[in-house]
Amino acid sequence: MNVSEKDRNTLRALAETYMTYALSAKNDEKRELWRALNRLNMKKPMLAIDQMPWNELDVDGFLNCTVEDPYFRGVEWGLRSEIYKWEHLPADMVLNPYILIPRPISNTGYGLGYVKETLATDETNSVVAQRFVNQFEEPEDVEKIQTPQVNVDRAAEAEVRAAAEDIFAGIAPVRFGGFILHLGLWDFITQWMGVENCYIELMDRPEMMHAIMDRLTTATLDQIEQINRLGLYDVDCNMCHCSYTFLDDLPGPECDRAHPTTHDGWAFGLAQLFTSVSPAITAEFEVPYMQRLFPHFGAIYYGCCDRLDDRLDVICRMPNIRKISCSPWSDREKFAERLDPKYIMSNKPTPALLAGSSFDEDAVRADLRRTIDAAKSNGLCLEMILKDISTVKYHPERLWRWSEIAEEETLQAAL
């Protein structure tokens, strides 16, 4: 790889700043607080912020990438974005004390692309409104689903490692990232069929929907086997679905860090489509398939934007779950009342409070306190993850202030 001296100096300067924060006492303290939460010994409710409208957040040009090499431009963005978060909206974020670089891995996917129409968009924003076209008109269309083929380019891997170690020599060690599997199979199906078509077929042709899920599950099990054979699962990013995953027992002492498998790490599952169906549909069309997949992982984060307060008993039939999402569409008091304390309540504060014509700090505090009170009243360990932030109306200071308020409230809750 041919990285210019100018770009090398840019990357080294960013890495020096990054490592100053990553090796700080504050960073070590935050890591241990997450570890305590994840072992169900919470010291304070924990906070994270992710999935932000980066196009609205730059205030001084710091987020503008300048490195020419496309691979290391991605590494540059990772450093810039993490430094920005630490300096402006840290909440309880943790920086890994090494530079995590992408491994040159490939995955053919399930053999179907997304046929879609864009309905509305902001040209500067990657968040767009879309309509998806149905690719499963007849039962035989189930055969369109193919088994993913996973591979790694070992020659490119060696080249990238050598280049990265040279660039960051004397500043930071380098580690490769890997796969973290998205087991929300219904997310894929809704993008292959469209949401309305999924609902109709669940009623009219449930046998076809079972066939789709069975074929997808079988293909995913094969994918898991390939990843494990190649030793490509991720155990070093320490995040899964925007949540920090530091644990005493995972990866375990038996983990080969040079050849990690799915049993050594986290995955995430969800069925957001089922927010608008009965718990019985979740039990029939989600649970049996995840019961086949989840045992292959060390831990599972379950849920996203789906409402789950009315079906926690169903969700808990699936193995290896450690954290369950309480989205803005769940009744948080009922969720907290019904959640077994062996699970972590992973609340998603509403990002709508950042998107109004003005920013109401009192409303933010009230929202956070309501969640903290619900968890505390039921003896639950709590994390709050602000995510899916589509807009802050080009006022990044709103997000910075949310982070400050949230930290104040969670520290007060720890007293």
Give 115-153 as a DSSP string.
-EEEEEE-TT-S-EEEEE----SSGGGGGG-----EEE-
Q: Which two tokens stand for residue 150?
A: 């996973």
Cis preceding-peptide flag for 53 (omega within 30 of 0): no
Task: For residues 110 and 146, give the distance between their C-alpha atoms in angstroms, rounded to a whole number.
Answer: 5
**Span 137-157, pLDDT tens digits:** 999 999 999 999 999 999 999
Q: What is the pLDDT of residue 236?
A: 96
CB-neighbour burial class of residue 375 (10 A; exposed 0-12, middle 13-18, buried 19+): buried
Q: Identify the domain containing residue 104 by its residue range.
A: 5-414
Tell me the C-alpha distance between 329 and 35, whole Å. Answer: 28
The tally of domains found in the chain comes to 1
DSSP state for residue 46 in the 8-state scheme = E
Cα–Cα dist 336/381, whole Å: 10
d(CA 368, CA 370): 5
Q: What is the pLDDT of residue 414?
A: 77
Which pLDDT does position 142 carry in this prediction?
97
CATH classification at residue 95: 3.20.20.210
The H or E element spanning position 82 is helix 70-88
Residue 166: C-alpha distances to residues 2, 15, 336, 358, 391 (Å): 12, 13, 50, 48, 39
Q: Please classify residue 175 by burial: count the beta carbons closer than 10 Å to its beta carbon, then call 0-12 exposed, 13-18 middle and 19+ buried.
A: buried
Prediction pTM value: 0.95
pLDDT at 140: 96
pLDDT under 50 in the chain at which residues? none
